[in-house]
Every structure is written in structure tokens, then in C-alpha cells.
Amino acid sequence: MTFLLRLARAIDALNEALGRPVAWLILGAVALAVISAIGRKAGFGSNALIEGQWYFFAAVFLLGAGHTLKRDEHVRIDVLAKRLSPRTRAGIELAGHLLFLLPLCGVLIVLGAENAWAAFRASEMSADAGGLPRWPVLALIPAGFLLLALQVLAASIHRLAVLTGHEAVPAATKEDGHGA
């Protein structure tokens, strides 16, 4: 279990290190929105600026998903779960991670990579005049779901550690003060 917990902490550190700079892409999206709006009024706007905003937002959403899970800040409905013991919650979350979330990530990594590769090979461009190439934003899909899958693996290890008595509460609760 020691090796698995070290692996989980390394994955946690990876998503923490990537999540913080990715959040700054929101500022880039806002800057592009301002430039695009001014450009439209001044007669020099472009579809590339608008699509750049979408690309930045896609990067934040996809590349930040693992960071969000790591910090336990994802959307959840815990009307019943908050009344359960940490061990019971850990068991339910472990089952959900392994039965649903990890397989979903695997499918989206494979399909996303195939789609991004096809767009790259075909030099697929936006259908809009002056638009951007499509493969970079499509490559964010497998990259983002790979980061999420790694974090699901780390979260699963932490939940298993709770179930086996190696951790008292899941890592996000201890480190960040968030609930599990």
C-alpha cells in the first residue's frame, strides 16, 4: 500500500501543478473576448479570436478536471453521503470510480485520440472563414481525460487506503480542508 500511496501522491502533485496554471487560461479567454469585441467595433475582429476563446475555455475545462477532482471541488449531490461514515463513503466512491468514471475516461481517451489524430492528418480547419485548425482543441480531449483518469486512479487509491485503515479520511479532506 505504501507504493500505491506514493503513486497517488505523485498524481495528486501532477494535477495540482498543472491545475493552477491552467486556471490562468481563463484570463486569456477574457483578454481574447475583449480584443474580439473591440475588434468587431473597430472593424478588425476575426473568427480566430472567437475560436481562441473557445479553445482556452476547453483547455480550462478539460485540463482542469483532474485538478478539480483532486481538490474534491466537483459537483456532487451528497444529501445522503454526508450522513455516512468516511469508510462507507470511501467504498461508494471507490465503486463509482472503478465501475463508471475510469471506464468512461478510457473510452474518451481512445475515441478522442483517434478523432484528434484524424483531424491532424487531414489538416482539418474550422468551417468559419479565418478560423483555427481543429486538431489542437481536439487533442485536449484525450489529454484532459488522461489527467482525469490518473486522478481517478489516485482518488481510488486514497479511498482504498481509507477502507484498509491506511488513511483515516480521503486525501482531499486532510490536505485541503474539503469534504470527501
Lowest-confidence region among 43-57, 66-80, 147-161: 66-80
At residue 106, φ and ψ (nearest 5 deg) are -60, -45
Q: Which residue has the higher pLDDT, 114 or 168?
A: 114
Contacts for 128 with CB less than 8 Å, ≥ 6 apart: 47, 51
What are the grid coordinates assigned to 149, written together?
A: 483518469
Residue-level pLDDT at 25: 94
The rounded distance, in Å, linking the Cα atoms of 167 and 5 is 10
Residue-level pLDDT at 176: 47
Mean pLDDT of the chain: 88
CA neighbours closer than 13 Å in the CB half-sphere of residue 19: 19
pLDDT in tens, 21-49: 999 999 999 999 999 999 888 888 788 88
**Average of pLDDT values for 98-103?**
95
What are the grid coordinates assigned to 89, written together?
A: 463513503
SS3 letters across 121-171:
HCCCECCCCCCCECHHHHHHHHHHHHHHHHHHHHHHHHHHHHHCCCCCCCH
Question: Is pLDDT above 60 for 106?
Answer: yes
Residue-level pLDDT at 41: 87
CA neighbours closer than 13 Å in the CB half-sphere of residue 63: 23
Residue-level pLDDT at 29: 92
Distances (CA, A) of 107 to 74, 148, 150: 21, 12, 14
Which contiguous run of DSSP H or E holds residue 87? helix 86-96
The rounded distance, in Å, linking the Cα atoms of 49 and 36 is 6
Cα 94 to its chain centre, rounded Å, is 18
